[in-house]
Structures are given as C-alpha cells and as structure tokens.
Amino acid sequence: MANICNRDTHVLVLSFFNLISISIASVISTGNFNSDFYITWSPSHVYASADGHSRSLKLDQESGSSIASNDMFLFGQIDMQIKLIPGYSAGTVLAFYLASDQPNRDEIDFEFLGNVTGQPYILQTNVYADGFDNREERIFLWFDPTKDFHTYSILWNLYQIVFMVDWVPIRVYRNHADKGVAFPRRQPMSLKVSLWNGDSWATRGGRDKVDWSKGPFIASMRNYKIDACVWKGNPRFCRADSTANWWNEPRFSSLTWNQRRLFKWVRKYYLIYDYCQDPKRFQNQLPRECSLPKY
C-alpha cells in the first residue's frame, strides 16, 4: 500500500511540474520593445518611444536597421501594428517575420514592398520549410498602409499557418507533412523586423530604384502582442494540449466559415501573384501543396 501511495504521489508531483513548465513556456508579451527586443543592426537607425511601446526603423544611404526578439518561439500568435513609409518608397523592403536562423531554416515572412508615389504597396508573404522557399504570394491591400497603423498577424500552430491583416486571413499554409509537404514544426523561431534596400528586385523587378533624395525612409511599429510558446529546449511543452497553448486547440485547426468567406474575398479581388498559379516557374511541376486543400 505504501508503494502504491508513493508511486501515486510521484505521478502527481511530475504532473504538477509538467503543468508549471507548460505555463511558464507560454507568454503574453509585455508590449515593451525595450524589454522584449534587441537591436541587431545599426542602433543609430532605431528609435524607441520613452515608454518603449513604439519603435521606428530608418533606412538611408548609410544603413538600414533591424530588431529581433530576445526569446524564440515554437507555435503561437504574433500581432504587430505597423505604419509603412509614406510617399516614394520604391526599392525599400520592410520585413516582419519569424526565422529559425538554421542552415535548413524555417521562416514565416511578411514583406512590404515599396513603390513609386501614387502606386500601391505590395504585400508579399513567403514560407521557408526545411531550408526551401519559393512559396511567394503577393497581394494589394484594400487600404493605404502609410496613412495609419494596421495589425499584421501570424497564427502558427500544429495544423496551419495563417497570415492576417486586420484579422482578415490573406493566406493559409496548411500542415500536409503527412503527405510529404515540408511544414515548420520542429525549429523554434525568433521574431524580427528589418528595413533595408531591396531595389535589385522589390519594385517592378528592380526597375524602380531607391531615390535617396526622398529619404530618410521610416517605418513604425507599436502595440505588438506575442502570445506564443517560449522555447525552453523541449518541443513537447509547445505541442502539449493545454489551456496555455490555446492556438493548438482543435477549433484553430482550420479557418472558420466567416474567415473562409473573407479569405476568398481577398483572393478574388486583391491577389496579384500566387506561386501555385505559376506552372512555368516550376517547369509544369507545381509543388505538392498546390494540389492539396488549404482548409
């Protein structure tokens, strides 16, 4: 009887510490750039508000700039309010993304491609999985992203990656690993934001260059939220079915009916490029995921 009691007590203690570990592994961010991020490129080109709740990146002829999160994450949801460069922004690229920084890296990208005055920004999304990308999609936005802040979100869970703009799903990359399609699910990733000169390709295939006389070019961020599993070395905690890891609940395994309606609306009216609709690029052998359902 004593052995049974001891064994049961041992199981309860282990369960308790597992629950503690899972709760510690999940975080809702402080909203303070000064405590959650560090500068990775050109401190003189990164500006922070006194309270740390907003931050701006600058690009000029001298340098671009970038920041990265102190922590790495495996699954969760990230929201960031961003206001893009006004006026002439051709050749500039603002990237808001998750990256694992491994040779066979995983990456989930928002890339905002600048344009000449009077022409709309292009939002490009991309997914790297096991070191391979070539999964670009591009849309026009249904608003001017330089006039005000808008919320850009990444939901990343065991089932899917959903890119959202003001809570409207603009892209879904589904987990079809069981069908041989690579999906980011093992490597933790840090959150990064960078502003840089991409005029070799970003605007009209590189035909429109950065006009430095229009600079400096400044993009701003604020009101971010990181609700994700902080990497502590054990993926089991991040894949666990727990209230802390809400994003892995079955109800987030696919788009809701209303999300599907909005997703179709974006695809119908704002999509301008989809790698799955470019057979010439892949010698008529489109990637496997292109023939599989998105939800």
Is 107 considered catalytic here?
yes
In the set 62, 111, 136, 137, the catalytic residue is 111
3-state secondary structure of 260: helix
User: What is the longest distance spanned by two Cα atoms in the chain?
Assistant: 83
Phi and psi torsions of 117, nearest 5°: -55, 130
Dist CA 58 CA 84 (whole Å): 11
Structure tokens at 187: 């490597």
CB 136 within 8 A of CB 273: yes
The owner of tokens 């808001």 is 96
Residue in 62, 107, 249, 289 annotated catalytic: 107
Is 136 a catalytic site residue? no
**Residues 191 and 226 sit within 8 Å (Cβ to Cβ):** yes
CA–CA separation, 32 and 222 (whole Å): 9
Burial class (CB in 10 A: 0-12, 13-18, 19+), 205: exposed
CB-based burial label for 42 (10 Å; 0-12, 13-18, 19+)? middle
Pairing of strands 189-197, 65-83: antiparallel
Residue 126 · residue 223 · CB < 8 Å: no
> Among all residues, which ones are annotated catalytic?
107, 111
